[in-house]
A and B are shown apart, each in its own frame.
Chain A
Amino acid sequence: MNNFTLDYQNQIILAISLPSSSLSMLATSFVLALHFLNPSLQNFPFRLIVYLQTADFIMSFGQFMNVFMHNYRPSDDDYFLCHLQAYISQYGALSTMIWAIIIATLMVLSLNRTLKAIEKYEKILIFIGFHFPALLSIM
């Protein structure tokens, strides 16, 4: 059921959240599109940025979903949507933090050795950056 009786403060918060999360989603989608459309941007360093931006997109989507959760109030039994939104936001935020840590670490490592040597560990990095926060968010 649509609920149009939101109080003033909630409306302001939603008015802030909607444009900023939309802007973030557009910006991150733009980076993903640039990556897939330009072969010169499909190298390992830019892939790391793409992973970070994917996590950012998920976090922004969680915030975007929150706006609709306020307008479309789910019934008391419909906790699934609420939990899903909380899970997506939490997962996106944790993932983006972990990718920021990974990128900072790889920047230091790249001072002493080439990124080519680190590239072979990409699957491990993906596990840490995407799978680990998924497990953590469930808890």
Chain B
Amino acid sequence: MQQNELLMDLLMFFMYYLFLWFAMIYNSFVMFYIRRTLKKLKEMNLMKDEQFYQKIKFFPLVLIIWWIVPSIHRLYMMVYREDIFILAAIHVFCESSYGFANMMLYALNPKVKKIIEKKIKGFFAKEEKKRIEDNTVDLNSANSYLNVNN
């Protein structure tokens, strides 16, 4: 019975964490390769996107930082059959906030930032225009009131 349990644990562990570790190692190698290629381009002054070159090291780093504690926690639980609270808390935090980390890393590129900035500026410009129009209406009504009274 206990052997079956262990077998199931091992199967579940490797189905999930094997992918995770593969992703960590693979992404690290790939990003290292891309960074090296981009460095050559930089030396030849052919680099178009300096920001991307700086950012690329964070792709595997985020993956490693966010998943190293969950991996240790699972491994510890599987081996010692007990839980450590602090590891469990960090595990939950990492797993829950990974979407936010990915959003900051992948989605917030300069183009998206520009679009968000444009939208925010557009919103405030509209509000300002509305406020000025309202003030003009107030001023007009005040003027007409004064004219009537004079």
Contact = CB atoms under 8 A, between A and B. Distances in A.
Nearest to A43: B111
Contacts of B107: 31, 34, 49, 53
A34 B99 contact: no
Nearest to B93: A16
Interface string B25-38: 01100110110010
A16 B31 contact: no
Contact of A52 (B20, B93, B102, B112): B102
A136 B15 contact: yes
Given A13-B88, A25-B99, A103 B115 contact: no
Main secondary structure of the interface of A (DSSP, over half): helix
A41 B22 contact: no
A20 B27 CA distance: 25
B100 A24 contact: yes
A21 B102 contact: no
A27 B26 CA distance: 26
B56 to A, nearest CB: 8
Contacts of A34: 107, 112, 115-116
Interface string A57-72: 1011001100000000
B80 interface: no
A104 B30 contact: yes
Interface residues of B, number: 36
B132 interface: no
B142 interface: no
Nearest to A14: B92
A117 interface: no
B102 A20 contact: no
A21 B23 contact: no
19 contacts: A9-B85, A13-B89, A17-B92, A20-B92, A24-B96, A28-B99, A38-B115, A40-B111, A41-B112, A49-B107, A52-B106, A53-B106, A57-B99, A60-B98, A94-B19, A101-B26, A103-B106, A104-B30, A108-B34
Closest 10 pairs (CB-CB, A-B): A24-B99, A56-B99, A20-B96, A21-B96, A27-B103, A20-B97, A104-B30, A63-B96, A31-B107, A97-B23
